[in-house]
């Protein structure tokens, strides 16, 4: 059976407990989780692989083994991150940049120059970090960027409600009057009911978008496995047929999050601790395609602490809790996942959508940064698409 791979492992929706006085404590905010296996009581959540990339470099090159905390050896986040379920070979080299080295102004300039050269991007988190040099003070950094379009833009559909929440939201997809050429972009993975189905969408490049309608409140790795398992057992038509319909809500979200569960704890067998751990995610999806940008950074320093084939029309309406996965078709696992329970809450986090600058708009800025870069970056290790990988993800 043909393997399916997606760029986005995105949104899943959890059915939470509503307290007696009516407030749903599982729907108070949108959060990031560090791994596909991480648990949270929040129904709106997302995962992207950037934080795992910086953890891998820290684990492989500095600790040189599993990261365990003194007096907190059962730390669940560290336990899952140590398994390195996501590595840099699971995504194309032209989609990410990562580096690590001793903290110094030169390393900061080096990263800023590399981001401008490779992605025409600036960092949102570098200025917020502590760049004061100190012995054995290391920075680990990663950026992942994906911009891709669907083969043909989907139709914009009439606004409608999402789940039980008030107000109407914008949708795109395939309606009764849509051009039949849109059908070729969509594949039905399985369709058990309007509340239990999954589809994949082709893009202009190697990325595939998976959309999974489910109320199950599981970790992303289990949701992804469930989706693949159901697809393998489905006996109905996988082709998107003439009377089938697809309805997908527009998404626009942003999150900057720290992981205090991993900081200010001495690492067993070393004199180090993680001083700062931060990750960002910016994601949009509309009828034209997907834009994804994520950064992660971690600073470690010396510690001062101790069905049947007869097919009726299928209504693939993602108008209730659903999950998104992004994955490249020739890779083993997703690099992004998102679970959507309250669309209004999630989209309220988004930044204003602006047109991208022309690629040559920043050429002058790049030249300035290159001229100021210190060529003696002996204390840092850089990894990007022009350089072969050595030990970044190999134990």
- The domain 1-373 is placed in CATH, from the list 2.30.39.10, 3.40.50.300, 3.30.470.20, 3.40.1310.30, at 2.30.39.10
**Cβ contact 334:324 at 8 Å:** no
Backbone angles phi, psi at 201, to 5 degrees: -125, 130
Strand partners, 92: none
Domain ranges, ordered by start, for the chain = 1-373
Question: Could you tell me the CA-to-CA distances from 379 to 11, 102, 134, 143 in Å, in that order?
Answer: 39, 6, 13, 20
From the number of C-beta atoms within 10 Å of its C-beta (0-12, 13-18, 19+), residue 195 rates as exposed
End-to-end CA distance of the chain: 32
Are the beta carbons of 243 and 35 closer than 8 angstroms? no
DSSP letters, 235-285, are: -S--B--TT-EEEEE-EEEEEEEE-GGGSS-BBTTSSEEEEEEEEEEEEEE
CA pair distance 210, 324, nearest whole angstrom: 6
Residuewise pLDDT in 10s, the chain (395 residues): 333 333 333 333 333 333 333 556 778 899 999 999 999 999 999 999 999 999 999 999 999 999 999 989 899 999 999 999 999 999 999 999 999 999 999 999 999 999 999 999 999 999 999 999 999 999 999 999 999 999 999 999 999 999 999 899 999 999 999 999 999 999 999 999 999 999 999 999 999 999 999 999 999 999 999 999 999 999 999 999 999 999 999 999 999 999 999 999 999 999 999 999 999 999 999 999 999 999 999 999 987 644 444 568 888 988 898 888 899 988 889 999 999 999 999 999 988 876 655 444 444 444 444 454 444 443 444 444 344 444 444 43
Q: Which helix (H) or strand (E) element contains residue 297?
A: strand 289-302
pTM of the model: 0.80
Beta pairing class for 322-328 and 315-317: unpaired
Say which DSSP state 158 is in: E
């Amino acid at each position: 059976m043909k393997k399916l791979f997606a760029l986005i492992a995105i949104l899943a929706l959890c059915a939470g407990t509503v307290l007696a006085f009516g407030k749903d404590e599982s729907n108070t905010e949108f959060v990031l989780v560090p791994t596909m296996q991480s648990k949270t009581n929040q129904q709106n959540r997302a995962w992207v692989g950037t934080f795992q990339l910086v953890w891998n470099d820290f684990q492989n090159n500095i600790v040189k083994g599993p990261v365990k905390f003194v007096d907190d050896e059962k730390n669940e986040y560290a336990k899952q991150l140590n398994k390195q379920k996501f590595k840099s070979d699971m995504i194309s080299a032209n989609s990410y940049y990562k580096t690590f080295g001793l903290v110094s102004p030169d390393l900061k300039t080096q990263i800023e120059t590399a981001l401008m050269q490779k992605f025409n991007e600036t960092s949102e988190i570098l200025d917020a970090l502590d760049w004061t040099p100190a012995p054995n003070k290391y920075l680990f950094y990663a950026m992942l960027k994906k911009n891709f379009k669907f083969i043909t833009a989907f139709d914009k559909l009439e606004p409608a409600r999402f789940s039980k929440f008030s107000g109407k939201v914008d949708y795109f997809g395939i309606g009764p009057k849509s051009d039949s050429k849109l059908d070729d972009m969509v594949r039905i993975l399985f369709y058990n009911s309007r509340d239990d189905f999954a589809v994949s969408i082709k893009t202009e490049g190697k990325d595939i978008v998976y959309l999974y309608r489910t109320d199950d409140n599981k970790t992303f790795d289990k949701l992804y496995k469930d989706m693949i398992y159901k697809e393998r057992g489905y006996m109905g038509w996988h082709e998107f047929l003439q009377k089938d319909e697809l309805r997908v809500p527009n998404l626009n979200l942003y999150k900057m999050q720290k992981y205090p569960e991993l900081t200010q704890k001495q690492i067993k067998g070393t004199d180090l601790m993680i001083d700062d751990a931060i990750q960002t995610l910016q994601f949009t999806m509309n009828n034209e395609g997907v834009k994804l940008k994520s950064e992660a950074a971690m600073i470690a320093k010396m510690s001062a602490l101790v069905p049947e084939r007869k097919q009726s029309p299928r209504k693939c309406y993602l108008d209730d809790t659903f999950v998104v996965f992004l994955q490249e078709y020739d890779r083993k696992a997703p690099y992004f996942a998102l679970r959507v329970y309250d669309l209004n809450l999630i989209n309220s986090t988004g930044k204003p959508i602006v047109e991208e600058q022309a690629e040559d708009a920043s050429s002058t800025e790049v030249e300035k940064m290159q001229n100021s870069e210190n060529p003696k970056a002996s204390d840092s290790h850089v990894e990007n698409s022009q350089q072969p990988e050595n030990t970044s993800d190999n134990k």
